[in-house]
Chain A
Amino acid sequence: MHRNVLATLSLLLLCLLVVPAAQAQDLEQLESEVETFTLDNGLRFVVVERPGAPVFTYFAQVGVGGVNEEQGRTGLAHMFEHMAFKGTDEIGTEDHRREKKAMRKVDEAYAALMEARRDRDATQSEIAELEEAFEDAQDEAREYVVANQFGNIIQKNGGTGLNASTGYDVTTYFYQLPSNKLELWAYLESERFINPVMREFYTERDVVIEERRMRTDSSPVGRLLEEFLAMSYLAHPYGRPLVGYQSDLDNFTRQQCLELYDRYYVPSNVVIGLVGDLKVDDVKDLAEEYFDDWEEGPEPPRVITEEPPQRGERRVALRDPGQPFLIVGYHKPDMFHPDAPVFDVITEMIANGRSSRLHQRLVKDEKKAVAVGAVTQLPGELYPGLFINFVVPAQGVTALECEQAVLEELDRLKDEPVSAEELEGVKTRMKANFVRQVRSNFGTISTVVQAELFEDDWRQGLVYPTEIDAVTAADIQRVARETFVEKNRNVAYILTEDAEQEGATDAR
């Protein structure tokens, strides 16, 4: 695959800021390495002792994501993820006592400004004055800030891979440290989970807005994906943008962010994973010393709204200067449904690899596309998601010219049973790839932590090969017949048009 095309595909997945879904494989040795324990406050730890290089990987997940955001507060979970690097009452400040006062002043100045902006009678000069007061208050509060101290501490102690990501279902924090820094890790992470201080909130909001501009506004596929999800979901929050709508971002308050933190960042809603050159007993001691103080909180609410069954096919054509791109999606059940592995197999068979059906047809035979792909579950797994196919058309070919092949290949799955040879080959490939994925420290820990969080059982992260093996040709037919029907279909595509053109091109 070629650089730009590959970048497009990665962008499609990156746009969702999602950690790859957990895959399960029954690997006995791996299983025997995993230990778990839970603190009194409900905080769960998954630890994998892996002697060898003197390093460890930290990987924690919190059961909060885009799906939990209220109307008018899209992007808040991701906003908090940014705030989680701002430090605590000890880290990142020279004098938190004074800082707290200054921060309160900032909030007040902001509230006054927002009220004036909403007030029809407020004059321009009144608003300008309040804007200046807001700027001044922020400047004053900044005096007490030691910028990026949290991250600096990790880096200067040999930390690498410091980052975090927000998905629709989950928020993830991770980095690696030399293994003699375990206590430092315990201190830093307990502090930031228990005592985060949301300093520099409004400046960081500007940073998040730049992120939106980069990932969505200024990216053709980013724009398309936002339209696609919104169209596919009328009711359920999976249809909302992860990075948030511009107007919601513009109206965030620090208080709203604190509310999200209070509600979701409770010990019972968090799983902490550690893998590498460490001992479970050491981790347990440190966990009790540093994380016991974390107060319990009520079970966070689940999302109640269910997406109603789709009544008819939905289509959106984005007339856009970007190059053509096609997404075809169908609603499917959540990850807990017994058919979930069937969708995984279909995904692999239809669009993964050079012998996959769509690649064979569209890329090799018809040469209408240069890349095809499928994602088994978009944009999340905890609630019913979408099975999607996407196609990158060849130069001079439109998205619509590729649609027919996609629909036909999906239809074939309904009536033509997959041969034993093909099915076996697909399964072998999937199981081999699972081994490749799970063998690294990061791969291991991310798989078991996510399973523990989503399914209350880390072992579920390793049963993937068994589940795949159980899928039959009849299963594939049945699922195909139920799912790939017109009224369940959502099609979004880019119809390339110069910025200057006035809707001249026909939609074929």
Chain B
Amino acid sequence: MRGDLSRGSLAGVLMLLVALSIVPSDATAKEPWERFDFPELGEVEIPDYERHVLENGLTVFLLEDRKWPLVEGRIMVRTGSAFEPAEKVGLASVTGNVLRTGGTETIPADELDMTLERMGAYIESSIGNTSASISFSFLTRTADRGLELVADVVRRPAFAQDKIDVAIEGERASVARRNDDLNGIVARELRQAVWGDAHPYARDTEYATLEAITRDDVVEFYEYFYHPDNMMIAVWGDIDSDAMLARIEERFGDWPAGQPMVPPFPNEPNEEQRKRVLVANKEDVNQTRFSMGHIGMRADDPDYYAMSVANRILGGSFGDRLFNEVRTKRGLAYNVGSSAGVGFSTPGMFQAYCGTKSSSTEEAVGVVLETVQTMREEPVGDQELRDAKNGLLEADVFNYVNPEQVLQRKMRLEYLGYPDDFLETFNDEVRAIGTDDVLSVMKRRVHPDEFAIVAVGKTEDWDGDLSSFGPVEELDISIPEPEGPEFPEPTDETVEKGRAILAAAQEAHGGPALTDLTSMKRTSAMNMKVQGMALDITLTETVVFPDRALTEIETPFGGQTMAVGPEAGWAKSPQGIVDMDSETYASQQREIIGDPLYVLGHFDQFPVQQLPPEDIDGAATDVVLVWIDEDADKWKKFYFDPSSHVLLRTQSKQRNMMTQVMGIGHVDYSGTKAVGGIMVPHEQIGYFDDEKLYDLTVESMEVGPTIDMSVFEKPAS
């Protein structure tokens, strides 16, 4: 069953004459190269192509070109890295990559690679900012099998975990290497200055964002966007259109439509365009790369045509103004030019860029700025304009050299939502551009007083600090480190040693008295800094190991009571009684068994390992890692005196009570005294991220008292 069939082909071959001399040249031309009588340019054939839409919404473009024994094509999908979550930058790139490298439900990854390579064929997939594509190429004799494989890859990708790992490894390498390429640094930083650091078109992939990507994420991304009604496919080469359409129908026709809404692309910058000079130091270069600019426009902006002509004169061709001034006249650069800042799917960035030796950095920035500014102040010369327009128009013929070039352009224009005759319109519009149009567009659309100027190089060798161009900010281009594993892998040796240290500590702290400890009551006086105030707090803890605890806190402002039992917890304050939520309950339970006295008495219940020794106040200590709750990522490090085995310190990852921020807290113990056969530290000092939080003195302690269990139950009022 055929889908919606609309013939987009042109009847027969269109003759297009592009040779009209656009503007009559200077009648007094006398240069030798202007004396030629050029014949009229031959005709350009616009190739015949077909456009169809299958019932499931898949748009199909077909073009026959029998010159070489190759069948090739491209699929475009409406998606992009613009849609990946901010905490998972890199997800789209990985998904696009592994769509191809991860194998399919029918063929495992390595076998697919081998099969394609032995066929002399390729299928490649990628996802960019605002589109995804799958391109393919097959020798004619294997084209049927080829299309089968393409459909398999697109419809039934396996996203093998192993290949996701390989892809992420590749992304990590790109992060690691991003400061090796000077031009890349400048391009990235300018993008971030213009669009905003966190903007989808500018944000960095980092180790942390890659770490967060799971296979589920990849599958979810694919399943959202890869539907036939969200795709276009173009096939060209040694094909018969009817036969190829039938094949495509066969391979893709039964794929149900079902594309959910695709959000619009975020084409607005997050950043106010304003004049700044952003500088970063790089030690291992003797050349500075800089670029200056701001947001540009999309190609459907009415100023596109004048801007194209203006940019060609300014910095878009061999011998343009920037080339002449910076490179040829002054020898300051090899690479210098400008970009009109026109994008087809998103606005581009207008920018003028240059690479120059360190000691001419400020000079070169000045010349570039001046050259841009001049074009905003004075109209360009008539001859200059004629040459630019002529060059653009006469080169138009190169847009029609390959039939597939034309076909892909048609597909792309449709994907982007541009009119079919966009290229032809361009020519007409360019013909009409005058010197006042160029001046006007430069004045209205190029604003040096809103330029972000990004310069990276060995700043100590610069001929100036660039402050004359605007307020200078220093950029930090350092790459945030990857998080290594928190602790080394435990070995038999470190586990055994850990147990031995804890055994010695258990012995030192009371031995059997510790292991027999089932209950305790402890009253302490705390002095705590809370929001700049020093607060005196009385803390009373009633604990029945392993899962009951009552904590009473008295402060000058009132008191609070918390309790947990084997099943639930509650808290009582002047405001009333509330049930503990499950997270707090779990955390409080962990506090009970994480109490050093309990751990020392029952360390065989926990996974432990010795860690490398650390110094406290210049003296070495034995360090043991204890996993209080591995699943919840809750660990506690215990530090002991190596000869007395007395507990000196505990350390764990915590949330700051006041700020709720995660950090590392530690408690230093001293004043160890015997209570009921147990050696108990009576003095504690608590720290959060190495800043002192509280002092605590144990005032009284009962070991093994009989406790009325009802105190742990939630009171009526």
Contact = CB atoms under 8 A, between A and B. Distances in A.
Interface string B158-177: 00001101100111111111
Contact of B101 (A211, A354, A360): A354
B38 A183 contact: yes
B327 interface: yes
Interface stretch (B63-71, B338-346, B522-530): B63-71
Contact of A206 (B178, B184, B332): B332
B335 interface: yes
A394 B172 contact: yes
A214 B182 CA distance: 9
Contact of B41 (A148, A153, A180, A321): A180
Interface string A140-159: 00100001110111111111
Interface in B116-138: 117-121, 137
B223 interface: no
B382 to A, nearest CB: 13
Given A7-B184, A178-B394, A395-B175, A320 B41 contact: no
Interface in B478-520: 482
B131 to A, nearest CB: 16
Interface residues of B, number: 85
A210 B356 contact: yes
Interface stretch (B280-288, B466-474, B624-632, B658-666): B280-288
A335 B224 CA distance: 52
B139 interface: yes
A439 interface: yes
A364 B328 CA distance: 48
A486 interface: no
B705 interface: no
Interface string A37-74: 00000000000000011110000000000000000000
A180 B40 contact: yes
Contacts of B163: 364
A479 interface: no
A2 interface: yes
A354 B180 contact: no
Interface in B66-87: 67-70
Contact of B318 (A162, A425, A433): A162
B391 interface: yes
A433 B117 CA distance: 11
B173 A392 contact: yes
A107 interface: no
A152 B331 contact: no
A184 interface: yes
B176 A184 contact: no
Interface residues of A, number: 90
A152 B176 CA distance: 42
Interface in B322-338: 323-324, 327-335
B19 interface: yes
Nearest to A421: B118
B530 to A, nearest CB: 42
A4 interface: yes
Interface string B43-57: 111000000000000
Contacts of B169: 367, 370, 394-395
Given A55-B397, A429-B120, A207 B333 contact: yes
A354 B36 contact: no
A489 to B, nearest CB: 26
B284 A218 contact: yes
Interface of chain A: mostly helix, strand, loop or mixed: helix
Contact of A142 (B40, B41, B177, B329): B329
B363 to A, nearest CB: 12
B319 A152 contact: yes
Contacts of A426: 117
A383 B252 CA distance: 53
Interface in B1-46: 19, 31-33, 36, 38-45
B393 interface: yes
Interface string A353-372: 11100001001100100110
B297 to A, nearest CB: 24
Contacts of B393: 158
Given A4-B184, A147-B328, A220-B180, A54 B120 contact: no
Contact of A180 (B19, B182, B318, B328): B19
Contacts of A431: 120
Contacts of B335: 210, 214
Contacts of A393: 173
B400 interface: yes
Contact of A181 (B38, B119, B356): B38
B110 interface: yes
A424 interface: yes
A507 interface: no
12 contacts: A3-B184, A53-B44, A90-B31, A154-B318, A156-B386, A179-B42, A180-B42, A323-B173, A371-B170, A392-B173, A395-B172, A425-B118
Given A54-B397, A203-B329, A440-B402, 17 more contacts: A3-B174, A4-B180, A5-B170, A53-B398, A152-B318, A156-B394, A157-B394, A158-B393, A158-B395, A214-B182, A217-B285, A218-B284, A220-B180, A323-B180, A367-B166, A429-B117, A431-B120
Nearest 9 interchain pairs by C-beta: A158-B394, A432-B120, A206-B331, A148-B319, A425-B118, A54-B42, A218-B285, A156-B387, A151-B318
